[in-house]
Amino acid sequence: MPFPETIEKIVSLAKRHGFVFQSSEIYGGAGSVWDYGPLGVELKRNVKDRWWNAMVRTRDDIEGLDAAILMHPRVWEASGHVAGFTDPLVDCKTCKGRFRADKLVDAQCHQKPSRHPGDPGTPCVLTEPRQFNLMFKTFMGPVEESAAVVYLRPETAQGIYVNFLNVQQSSRQKIPFGIAQVGKAFRNEITPGNFIFRTREFEQMEMQFFVEPGEDMKWFEYWKAQRMEWHEALGLDPARLEFHQHTKTELAHYARAAFDIQFDFGGALGSQEIEGIHNRGDFDLTQHQTFSGKRLEYFDQPNNRRFVPYVVETSVGADRVTLALLVNAYREETVAGEEEGRTVLALHPAIAPIKAGVFALVKKDGMPEFAHKLADDLRRRFPVYYDESGSIGRRYRRQDEVGTPYCFTIDGQTMTDSTVTIRGRDDLKQVRIAADQVASRLHELLAKDRPHARIEDLL
Amino acid sequence: MPFPETIEKIVSLAKRHGFVFQSSEIYGGAGSVWDYGPLGVELKRNVKDRWWNAMVRTRDDIEGLDAAILMHPRVWEASGHVAGFTDPLVDCKTCKGRFRADKLVDAQCHQKPSRHPGDPGTPCVLTEPRQFNLMFKTFMGPVEESAAVVYLRPETAQGIYVNFLNVQQSSRQKIPFGIAQVGKAFRNEITPGNFIFRTREFEQMEMQFFVEPGEDMKWFEYWKAQRMEWHEALGLDPARLEFHQHTKTELAHYARAAFDIQFDFGGALGSQEIEGIHNRGDFDLTQHQTFSGKRLEYFDQPNNRRFVPYVVETSVGADRVTLALLVNAYREETVAGEEEGRTVLALHPAIAPIKAGVFALVKKDGMPEFAHKLADDLRRRFPVYYDESGSIGRRYRRQDEVGTPYCFTIDGQTMTDSTVTIRGRDDLKQVRIAADQVASRLHELLAKDRPHARIEDLL
């Protein structure tokens, strides 16, 4: 399987099959914002649901939350975002471009004929760096006055911290316990890019785990291992996953320890963060205590004492992990005995947007009616795609390209013995099974929760 | 069951049990923005998932979409929102309050001692009305310059229209078909209120159905009936649901027909829109064609012709329907043979945040261990709540208050014959079943998809 040199093929496949479209494309697009199409929305929903199941529903020590995007502006003073969530920018007087002062080596002028600093051509003339805040600012209430300035949250975490006591008391949780949230966040990035890797509007899946001080490094190690396992169970190639430890210079001033989980996207993007695990100590709760004047202490009843818990955070980008899953799954293969190769998205069946293709071999002899009925039956439990147009090989190729794990074909024999063929996306094997067993066998295959789709698993 | 006079009791229950908290409460709250707590996030997720299943996953004629909140600003010129999505506001020179000119009769000064017009006291001195746009405005890119003005979408529908051809072509759908989306929208309301009924940040579940002109009224009637059925199947009292037809003066200039589905919230709020079904004709697609210069026509292959489809829209507020479900489910009841009454949320089991309570009658004789094991087993498939503290009656009451349909209690007899009691929330009956049958019986009860939780359904 050739390693994809670039993500251009993914971008093209994503548009062609309705995974991801450029936002407002008919208007020339919105700056680095993307829309998820019919297959993309299912893929990303499956990723988010799997995270929610693993982190909230199947655990008794994590509670869910859905805090609003708009929060009180003081939240972002307490968190440090108003003062410190900035990039240093320089303007180029030659090309009028604007660049991050700390990333000049990667900068590329967007206006010809000047070039970025160091290249041949008309040189850039750069201003001194100035700090620009990355939060989107808006105004609540009918007039644009400074009293009503609010921000689009740049991270979901603060919604969890300010609700710490509300959640703890209403759920009657005892420390250690966590609060988890999936939601949109917004950053006015100067240099977004690489498709859905770095966008101005994105979705986070964050969990904050509240522990007793002194227990924090134990839980930090626990969550590092848990989160890496989660990515591996989704089928991300372990050889492309690695931990990256933040060095002292990378570490945020409040962080006691931090590791990224990186995935190797290949090509120019290379190995990049898809999740961060951070030991944030008591920084956040203490800041909110100071700024709000409200106590955010946990009451430890058995020992009759109060303390501000430490926080271990796991923060994963839903769009980034979706892109990693697409890149990881993308293969161009030759097929034995066939002239044309195939493109296949070898997605874990649990996150594949369509679980089964249902085909009538030819449009006659009752096959379409039989196939329609089977598809309608299956659709009550699984997302399925019915197809009767084009050659059967072409229909298989189409489902391979969108990652559909299994295909069922109704042919002439079906009309005599009520069996259908089932084909596995990954081993390309086909066997016949009874038509009235299709739903239960499909359920059985999906329940195995394996990252591949092979007919061997049936046998 | 007494009809709730107000929603204050719901607000109080919602905070106490972790359904809904005021956003940024420790900072005094953000203006009419709310956060969903551990039980609220599950309730609302269940409502949204049920809508998605009914509208997308179980149908072959509707595709899903997840368009971004930030769109190209021209979208809102084409849609008419830049010019027309305004409220007329007046300022009061006496109390400095700001009011909607068309709702002066409902206005209440927020500063004493002046009163709203007409009341005794210092009279308001009102300015002439001015138009204020209700869209939240922000700036994309690092400088606040007019070229980079973008808006937070005030509705999700436009994300569907601009993607009409991308979705249709990638999914190979033929007209009639629909595109559905769940997502946040934002309106800078002057007078938000009534808890989560009217908020500045809210979530919509919208579906746009594209049809051949001339077929539109047939589909309009179809969707009116479908959507009313959906609300009724969720258990909303049919006596509190009604259609409200938009009269000619209420009808938007582009709408060919419009009905609201209203729910009677009781008290001062009364009967209010929770969903709108609109025949929008070809207004939206035609506007986007004009403003983008791109064709948005459907190609009707069999007849070799192109046309701009008509659109039938169904638009439901996820927060409003969640509030309706809470109000509808809230009961204060006397219980035969007991002194204290109970408060119960008689939610449809499919949307109840917790499906089962699991209790050890007393904290000894192996009962907690048995109950913990049962709860852990169930939790792999269902959200459950384990409780061993306080009297058993108190534990039942607590689950009643949050709408948990079934409770399982481990008692002395369990330790000898491995049976447990199952109790139904709505009929309060209890029967004993084998402990190893709990998961399958719970599954069976939930699969019945009935709006109530009675033990009779087991028999």
Per-residue pLDDT tens over the stretch B344-387: 999 999 999 999 999 999 999 999 999 999 999 999 999 999 99
B289 vs chain A: nearest CA distance in angstroms? 9
Q: Do B27 and A152 touch (CB under 8 A)?
A: no
Assign A112 a pLDDT band (cuts: 50, 70, 90): very low
User: Which of B15, B25, B26 should one mutate to test binding to chain A, selecting the residue with the greatest count of A CBs within 10 A?
Assistant: B26
* CA A183 to chain CA mean position, Å: 11
| Angstrom distance (rounded) from CA B448 to CA B170 | 36
Over the stretch B175-223, which tens digit does the pLDDT of each residue have? 999 999 999 999 998 877 889 999 999 999 999 999 999 999 999 999 9
| Of residues B68, B62, B79, B65, the one with CA closest to residue B286 | B79
| Interface probe, candidates A24, A156, A285, A378, chain B, greatest B C-beta count within 10 A | A24
Q: Determine contact, residues B229/B241, Cβ cutoff 8 Å.
A: no
CB contact under 8 A, A89 and B142: yes
The whole-angstrom separation of Cα A285 and Cα A175 is 15
Every domain range in chain B assigned CATH 3.30.930.10: 7-74+137-325
Name the residue among A57, A74, A170 with its Cβ closest to that of B16. A170
Q: Which of A11, A16, A27, A151 to mutate to test the interface with B (most CBs of B within 10 A)?
A: A27
Task: Give the list of residues 6+ apart from residue A182 with CB closer than 8 angstroms, or none.
Answer: A48, A51, A52, A66, A156, A203, A204, A205, A206, A318
Chain B residues within 8 A of A17 when measuring between CB atoms: 170
Closest-CA distance, A24 to chain B, in angstroms, reads 6
Contact assignment for A75 to B141 by CB distance below 8 Å: no
> Sign (positive/negative) of CA torsion B65, A71, B70, A207?
negative
All residues of chain A having their beta carbon less than 8 Å from the beta carbon of residue B190 are 141-142
Mean pLDDT within A44-67: 97
- ipTM of the shown complex: 0.93
What pLDDT, in 10s, does the model give residues A185-215? 999 988 778 899 999 999 999 999 999 999 9
pLDDT, tens only, A117-159: 557 566 677 888 888 889 999 988 766 555 588 999 999 999 9
Q: With 70 as the cut, is the pLDDT of residue B31 above it?
A: yes
SS3 sequence of B219-287: HHHHHHHHHHHHHHHCCCCHHHEEEEECCCCCCCCCCCEEEEEEEECCCCCCEEEEEEEEEEECHHHHH
The span from the CA of B187 to the CA of B178, in Å, is: 25
Residue B263 has what pLDDT? 97
Instruction: Answer whether B66 sits within 8 Å of A36, measured CB to CB.
Output: yes
Domain B7-74+137-325 has CATH 3.30.930.10: yes
pLDDT of residue B321: 97
C-alpha to C-alpha distance for B446 and B46, rounded to whole angstroms:
13
User: Mutating which of B12, B34, B66, B187 best tests the A interface, going by the most A Cβ atoms within 10 A?
Assistant: B66
* Among candidates B65, B70, B138 on the partner chain, residue whose Cβ is nearest the Cβ of A33: B70
B239, B230, B233: which is closest to B266 by C-alpha? B239
B9 — pLDDT class (breaks 50, 70, 90): very high
Contact A72 B24 (CB under 8 A): yes
The residues pairing with B330 across neighbouring beta strands, listed in sequence order, are: B345
pLDDT tens digits, one per residue of B260-274: 999 999 988 899 999
Q: Chain A interface, mutation test: which of B82, B136, B170, most A Cβ atoms within 10 Å?
A: B170
Residues of chain B with CATH 3.40.50.800: 345-458
pLDDT, residue A143, reads 64
Q: In this structure, what DSSP letter does residue A25 have? A: G
Q: Using CB atoms, which residue from B34, B39, B170 is nearest to A38?
A: B170
- The CATH architecture one would assign to domain B345-458 is 3-Layer(aba) Sandwich (3.40)
- A16 has a pLDDT exceeding 90: yes
Tokens matching residue A360: 């009538």
Work out the minimum CA distance from B239 to partner chain A, whole angstroms: 30
Amino acid in position A171: S
- DSSP states of B157-187: HHHHHHTHHHHHHHHT--SSEEEEEEEEEE-
Both tokens of residue A80?
């440090």
Q: What does DSSP assign to residue A57?
A: I
The mean predicted confidence, pLDDT, of chain A is 91
Dmax of chain A from CA atoms? 80
pTM listed for this prediction: 0.94
- Residue A7's pLDDT band, with cuts at 50, 70 and 90, is confident
Given B29, B44, B380, which is nearest A66 (Cβ)?
A: B44
Nearest CA in chain B to A89: B142
From the CA of A245, how many Å to the nearest CA of chain B?
30
Would you call B60 and A288 a contact, using CB atoms and an 8 Å cutoff? no
Question: Which position has the token pair 């697409």?
Answer: A326
Average of pLDDT values for B101-105?
72
For position A1, what pLDDT does the model report? 40
B2 pLDDT band, cuts 50/70/90, is very low
Say which of B36, B63, B383 has its CB closest to residue A65: B36
Give the number of A-B residue pairs with CB atoms closer than 8 Å.
230
Residue of A nearest to B72 (CA): A30
Higher pLDDT, A302 or B103: A302
**Buried b / exposed e across A297-320, counting CB within 10 Å, b at 16+?**
ebeeeeeeeeebbbbbbbbbbbbb
CB distance B41–A18 less than 8 Å?
no
Q: Which two tokens stand for residue B207?
A: 């579906």
Query: Quick check: A23 and B67 CB within 8 A?
Result: yes
Measure B440 CA to nearest chain A CA, in Å: 17
User: A41 and B18 in contact by Cβ < 8 A?
Assistant: no
